[in-house]
Chain A
């Protein structure tokens, strides 16, 4: 489902003496449907960078990143957008939303973008928010004012609203209490069970051990670290 072939990336800092920093070089791996792969390595090894490259958020200099039959390195913006709408989900560490939009709408938004009716999208959103223990009195408020843990759970609800065939999870269990951590892990297991290909970053080793089938140490591909 997700396939990386000889993927490399450098950052060129034009405004700081045109310094060129190699971050990822020559990564290749595949993730099959129903499989969960963890990216590991020390901080700064490039886990989040690699994940952002797979999402198309960071530009990849060379190689191929295929999600289904789309090569995200070469794809037109509209193809990437369609892919993100239908195929590729991403739960980042930060919630980024339009201020003033109620939590329920934030969570329902990915479904609305797929053309699901307002009522159906809302009922799915309610189900997820309830599962993630977001009190109902908060649903009509904007999540911008929520605590870190609450925002993270809203972010997860949003990421799991649509049954994406491929998912990227950046620290989904960070800053969650035990009960909510359990809910998230159950959601991940359910996604695997329905055949989603998942790439995750987990600092939480127990969580990683429970949901991940394989680990990939990103430091092996980091120039300067592996060499």
Chain B
């Protein structure tokens, strides 16, 4: 089996400060990988390097493209990379506002990616948008409402619908449940789990919430000061952490 994403030696420095250093891993189709670590550990820098939002100083991010097989997305031309991020890639931001067009209706938000890849039939676009609203448990009657009228949890679900409508193969998520209250989080996690399984998605999830990765991620990477200190099966890393920092991280979680 070919890895969907093969990352090697990704390094990004901010001047003398290390963003992330020498990160390598392979992600296979259908796998969900979590990246955990405290604030400033470099997990968001890494995610942004992987998703093409930042250019790493060194390293390769090889993606197995549908048309041409494995290609290094760091050296890919910008049009190709942007095309990838509209089709095979998706990015779910922590704050739905960063990932949505707040002045555009829910249907328009979901339809944008379809229109961006050339869909020109209003009826079809609307049908797909409505279908996706229902899949993320937003009432179809809200299709013409703007996201400004939605609750935080609904906005996040709308952002997910907007991202998944073109059937991407790889989803990047930056703290997808951050800022949501606990009951809304649970619902979102369940939804994401179902979508990942039904669509066979691969995903990379950055979070500092260990409960989120336990439920969503198959694999886990623990980062500290820009470096990966431990990686492995999620439940193994959480239940039998080997590195001092992972042990500290796991033992620091408050029990409810």
Q: Which residues of A contact B (CB under 8 A)?
A: 11-15, 52, 56-59, 77-78, 80-81, 96, 98-101, 112-113
Contacts and interface: CB of A to CB of B under 8 A. Distances in A.
Contacts of B119: none
Contact of A98 (B193, B218, B236, B242): B193
B236 A56 contact: yes
B58 interface: no
Contacts of A77: 31, 218-219, 232-233
Interface of B: 28, 31, 183, 186-187, 189-190, 193, 197, 214-215, 218-219, 232-233, 235-236, 239-240, 242-244, 247-248, 251
A100 B236 contact: no
B233 A80 contact: yes
23 contacts: A13-B247, A15-B251, A52-B239, A56-B233, A56-B236, A57-B240, A58-B236, A58-B239, A58-B240, A59-B240, A77-B219, A77-B232, A77-B233, A78-B28, A78-B218, A80-B233, A81-B31, A81-B218, A98-B190, A99-B183, A100-B186, A101-B190, A112-B197
B96 to A, nearest CB: 21
B187 A59 contact: no
Contact of B197 (A13, A14, A59, A113): A113
Q: 5 tightest A-B contacts by CB?
A: A14-B244, A99-B186, A58-B240, A77-B219, A77-B233
B239 A15 contact: no
Contacts of A96: 214
Contacts of A57: 233, 235-236, 239-240
Given A57-B236, A57-B239, A58-B239, A15 B186 contact: no
B193 A81 contact: no
Dominant secondary structure of chain B at its interface with chain A = helix
A59 B244 CA distance: 15
Contacts of B232: 59, 77
A98 B192 CA distance: 11
Contact of A78 (B31, B187, B197, B244): B31
A59 B190 CA distance: 28
A88 to B, nearest CB: 13
A81 B233 contact: yes
Contacts of A11: 240
Contacts of B243: 14
Given A56-B233, A58-B240, A98-B190, 8 more contacts: A15-B244, A52-B239, A57-B235, A57-B240, A59-B236, A78-B218, A96-B214, A99-B190
A101 B187 CA distance: 9
Given A59-B242, A77-B232, A100-B186, A15 B31 contact: no
A78 B187 CA distance: 26
